[in-house]
Structure 1
Amino acid sequence: MSNEVMLVISIVARPGKGCEQIVAFEKLAPLVRGEPGCLQYDLHAVVGDDDRFVLIERWASTEALAAHDVTPHMIAADLHSPTFRAAPAAVLELGPNSLA
Structure 2
Amino acid sequence: MIGAIAQRHDTGEVLMLAWMNRAALDETLATGRVCYWSRSRQQLWRKGETSGNHQRLVEARLDCDGDAILLLVEQQGPACHTGRPNCFYNAIRNERVTVISVAP
Q: TM-score, normalised by structure 1?
A: 0.31
- Greater strand proportion: 2
- Greater helix proportion: 1
Q: Relative contact order, CA 8 A, sep 6+: which one is greater?
A: 1
Q: TM-score, normalised by structure 2?
A: 0.30
